[in-house]
Amino acid sequence: MERGRKNQKCSSFCNPSTPGATAAATSISGGGVGGGESYGGNGNSGILDETVLMLVFRSLNWDPHVICVAACVSRRLRAVARRVLFRELCISRAPRMVSALTSDGVAPAGRLGGGWHALAKLLFFCCGCAAPTRFFALDRPALGHFVGVSRFSKTSGRSFLARRFWSDLLFVSDPCEHPAAGRGGGEDLGAYRGVFRGFMRSRTRAWLIGKQAELETRVRCPYCGARVWSMTAAGLVPNSASTRLGSHEGSLEYFVCVNGHLHGYCWLAHLSTDDDDDEADGDDTGDDGKHNEEDEEGNAEF
């Protein structure tokens, strides 16, 4: 039963059925169920040695699917994954974003609010929208899913901050479209996510605490499980957020948890055929067809 709970937690991050992922995790564990526990009381011996694990997963290019499956094998591997492997995954895939989030002593001893596994999940997992909220009506739920490529922008993040909080640094992703959850009027559900730099010292948090804003009772952070504030209920949603997302004013809601993770939803209007053509003409990814990790606006892509 305990092992079933572990697998359930990991499967909420990404799908472990990726070809080779299960086989790789079985090999790492020493073969079979509970293989990771067969090395006795010394957690630093054999394949459980952190240096060895670093070499193994570096050779796999820090594949998030394999890391998640390995973390489900045993409690020891999960502890190593949370302490080391997810950190290296984040640094490998979004180095400039991680550097911005940890610079100037805002992450003492390399520790982030909610942990590195929460940041890794935020980078690679769209939480969708499981249920309606106080300020966001929803006919059908949109399930969360793994996202192979995402782009986070601190310029976009500024659009989600009231002017008095512009000194805070917030990275926000482009909205992930969910056509299956659409409603009348040709609108799709957009789900987006983000993270604050040094949220404990931010002006946004200081204002929420100072005004004694109430934490939501029915919503939790999908990335770290912490309690959240509704920015809509707190009156901190600027008009620029709707403009940035391409949604109608008032057709969005987002939350910020006590660890500084943001997630939210909006209704996105379909682009017309002419708009699609214009957008395609203006999409320049360079000669090699790949995006740069950070553009002039400070976007982090991986």
17 and 148 share a domain? Answer: no
Domain that holds residue 62: 2-93
Domain limit, last residue, from 71, 93, 115: 93
Number of domains in the chain: 2
49 and 174 share a domain? Answer: no
Structure-block tokens of residue 196: 């604050």
- The alpha helices in the chain, defined as continuous H runs, are 2-11, 21-29, 50-59, 64-71, 75-80, 86-93, 95-102, 116-124, 154-159, 203-210, 239-245, 273-281
pLDDT tens per residue, the chain (302 residues)?
444 444 444 544 555 444 445 444 444 444 443 444 433 344 455 556 788 888 889 989 899 999 999 899 889 889 989 989 999 999 999 999 999 999 877 776 667 888 999 999 999 999 999 888 988 888 888 899 998 888 999 999 999 999 999 999 999 999 999 886 556 566 789 999 999 999 999 999 999 999 999 999 999 999 999 999 999 999 999 999 988 988 876 689 999 999 999 999 998 866 655 544 444 443 332 333 333 334 434 444 44
252 and 129 share a domain? Answer: yes
φ and ψ of 59, to 5 deg = -65, -25
195 and 215 share a domain? Answer: yes
Which pTM value belongs to this model?
0.76
In the block, residue with structure tokens 């982090």: 300
64 and 183 share a domain? Answer: no
